[in-house]
Structure 1
Amino acid sequence: MMACSFHCRFLLGGDHGRSKYFPPEEFSPLVESLLPQQVLSIDPCFYFGNLNKVVLSGPWPVEDDTAFVPTPVDTTAVTLPTYVESIRDRLAENIHEMWATNNIEAGWQYGERRDGVRKIHPCLIQFERLPPAEKRYDSQLAVQTLKTVMALGYYLTMDKPPSRIKSVRLPNEPFLQSNGYKPAPLDLSAIALTPKMEELVDQLAENTRNLWAKERILQGWTYGLNEDSDMKRSPHLVPYSKVDDAIKKANRDTASETVRTLLAYGYNLDPPTGEQLEALLAEAAKSKHMAFRTYRVQKNYAVSTGKWPNARWLGTC
Structure 2
Amino acid sequence: MSTSVLICDDSKFARQQMARAIPQGWDVSLSFAENGQQALEAIKAGKADVTFLDLNMPVMDGYETMQQIRQQDLPTMVLVVSGDVQPEARKRMRELGALDFIAKPVDSGKLNALLRDYGLYDGLGKTRSVSTNTQATSDSEKLDIYREMANVAMGQAGDKLARLLGEFIHLPVPNVNVIAASELRMAVAEIQDRAYVSATSQGFVSEGVGGEALVIFDDADFSRILKLLRYPENDESEGLELEALMDVSNILIGACVNALSEQLGIVFSRNHPSLLGRHCNLDQLLTRNVSRWNEIVAIEIGYTIQSQNIHFDLLLLFPRHAIDGMVSYLTGDRQ
TM-score, normalisation: structure 1: 0.22
- Computing the radius of gyration from Cα coordinates, the structure with the larger value is 1
Between Structure 1 and Structure 2, the one with more helix by share is: 2
TM-score where L is the length of structure 2 = 0.22
Return the structure number with greater strand share. 2
Which gives a bigger RCO, structure 1 or 2 (Cα 8 Å, sep 6+)? 1
